């Protein structure tokens, strides 16, 4: 059997084509044409939740498009599927990639470079009755800071370089897919989530051996700016997973709002996914007794029966803002390197 989400996929592709070619108030018209009246949009700090297409246009899209000229949407993953979280009732379309443009005007207090710049993004769109009813659009604002010579989070445990798409270059699933492959991918994601839940293996087996149950040996964890990326299970354990576990306590899993897979790709988002209390040192930040929420998107590529690539979007500005650290305010006072 094959998946059949062509109507939803075509709607989102038409929406992107119209949105990416619109300017100014025409962006509002595009959004109102494709978005339902009972809409909710979730974006990273400082945007957060917005429930009106006109406000999404005026608060996020128009200022962003004023700052970044000649935008190109460069997608690396495009999939659709039914959401496991609501019993496979709702259909969502996921797009992941970069919005590339000329960074010509100030954005969020970040001074422009007048050079090309990339905004890493991943967007989940719920489609019902020919309209978009819900959106989660997560994007890597600290990566934009790095591109103009600002470093808001020294030091990183991994390396933040280019964030490419899948090694196989097969992430754009515009056509119908084999349903069994998506089911295998979702099973691999679910196994990994259950296996690390509560860090239940900590102290029982090595972290590397724990990770080997879910990941292929040459896996890549494409982390956000401020954390960085890691290649191979051993380096991932050394450069992210180990330091992360050591830097937080009282890990609370809040679950996800959407989780789906199609073909060899899948992912989820939460609002928030995790609540954690920092013990100090991670990302150069102090310890705290105050729990903080992490809003996260994870996207995966499966190879065989294990996972091989993982792209991560974490609302780090929101998390540290809850700890009393306003990164956007701080970068206004920081000279470029």
Please provide the average confidence, as pLDDT, over all residues in the chain: 94
Residue 212 lies in a domain: yes
Query: Taking 70 as the threshold, does the pLDDT of residue 215 lie above it?
Result: yes
| Same-domain status, 185 and 127 | no
| Same-domain status, 239 and 125 | no
pTM for the full model?
A: 0.95
Rounded percentage of the chain residues whose pLDDT exceeds 70: 97
Residue 82 lies in a domain: yes
Residue 263 lies in a domain: yes
Segment 304-323, tens digit of pLDDT: 999 999 999 999 999 999 99
The span from the CA of 41 to the CA of 270, in Å, is: 13
pLDDT of 204 reads 74
* DSSP of 116-178: EEEEEEEEEEEEETTEEEEEEEEE-HHHHHHHTT--SSPPPSSB-------TTS--B--S--B
| Same-domain status, 235 and 119 | no
| Same-domain status, 187 and 143 | no
Segment 146-176, tens digit of pLDDT: 999 998 887 788 887 778 999 999 999 999 9
Asked whether 232 and 218 are in contact (CB, 8 A), the reply is yes
| Same-domain status, 324 and 205 | yes
Residue 122 lies in a domain: yes
| Same-domain status, 136 and 258 | no
pLDDT of 202 reads 64
Residue 155 lies in a domain: no
pLDDT of 213 reads 96
| Same-domain status, 185 and 319 | yes
pLDDT confidence of 33, banded at 50, 70, 90?
very high
The span from the CA of 47 to the CA of 329, in Å, is: 15
Closest CA to 277 of 307, 248, 306: 248
The span from the CA of 159 to the CA of 157, in Å, is: 7
Segment 166-213, tens digit of pLDDT: 999 999 999 999 999 999 999 999 999 998 875 555 667 899 999 999
| Same-domain status, 205 and 138 | no
| Same-domain status, 22 and 95 | yes
230-231 β-sheet, strand order: 230-231, 215-222, 306-314, 296-303, 265-269, 258-262
Considering 147, 165, 195, which residue would you say is the last residue of a domain?
Answer: 147
Considering 107, 123, 147, which residue would you say is the last residue of a domain?
Answer: 147
| Same-domain status, 12 and 143 | yes
Instruction: State the total domains in the chain.
Output: 2
pLDDT confidence of 335, banded at 50, 70, 90?
low
Residue 153 lies in a domain: no
| Same-domain status, 131 and 190 | no
Residue 166 lies in a domain: no
pLDDT of 155 reads 77
Closest CA to 90 of 36, 45, 51, 140: 36
Considering 98, 126, 147, which residue would you say is the last residue of a domain?
Answer: 147
Range of the domain at 124: 6-147
Asked whether 63 and 28 are in contact (CB, 8 A), the reply is no
**CATH number of the domain encompassing residue 101:** 3.10.450.50
Segment 228-262, tens digit of pLDDT: 999 999 999 999 999 999 899 888 999 999 999 99
| Same-domain status, 197 and 87 | no
Residue 152 lies in a domain: no
């Amino acid at each position: 059997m094959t998946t059949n989400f062509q109507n939803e996929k075509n709607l989102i592709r038409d929406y992107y084509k119209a949105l990416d070619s619109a300017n100014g108030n025409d962006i509002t018209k595009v959004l109102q044409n494709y978005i339902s009246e009972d809409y909710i949009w979730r974006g990273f700090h400082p945007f957060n939740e917005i429930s009106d297409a006109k406000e999404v246009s005026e608060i996020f899209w128009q200022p962003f498009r004023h700052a970044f000229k000649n935008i190109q949407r460069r997608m690396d993953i495009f999939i659709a599927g039914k959401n496991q979280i609501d019993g496979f009732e709702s259909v969502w379309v996921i797009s992941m990639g970069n919005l590339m443009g000329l960074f010509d005007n100030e954005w969020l207090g970040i001074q422009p470079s007048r050079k090309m710049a990339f905004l890493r993004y991943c967007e989940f769109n719920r489609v019902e009755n020919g309209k978009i009813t819900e959106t989660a659009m997560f994007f890597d604002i600290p990566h934009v800071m790095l591109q103009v010579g600002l470093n808001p989070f020294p030091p990183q445990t991994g390396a933040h370089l280019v964030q490419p798409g899948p090694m196989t270059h097969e992430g754009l699933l515009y056509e119908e897919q084999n349903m069994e492959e998506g089911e295998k991918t979702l099973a691999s994601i679910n196994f990994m989530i259950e296996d690390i839940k509560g860090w239940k293996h900590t102290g029982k087996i090595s972290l590397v051996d724990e990770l080997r149950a879910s990941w292929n040996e040459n896996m890549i964890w494409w982390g956000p700016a401020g954390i960085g990326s890691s290649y191979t299970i051993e380096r991932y354990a050394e450069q992210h997973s180990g330091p992360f576990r050591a830097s937080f306590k009282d890990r609370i899993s809040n679950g996800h709002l959407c989780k789906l897979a199609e073909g060899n790709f899948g992912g989820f988002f939460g609002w928030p996914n995790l609540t954690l209390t920092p013990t100090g040192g991670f990302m150069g930040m102090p310890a705290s007794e105050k729990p903080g929420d992490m809003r996260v998107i994870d996207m995966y590529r499966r190879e065989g029966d294990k996972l091989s690539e993982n792209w991560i979007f974490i609302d780090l500005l929101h998390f540290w803002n809850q700890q009393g650290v306003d990164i956007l305010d701080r970068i206004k006072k920081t000279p470029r390197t």
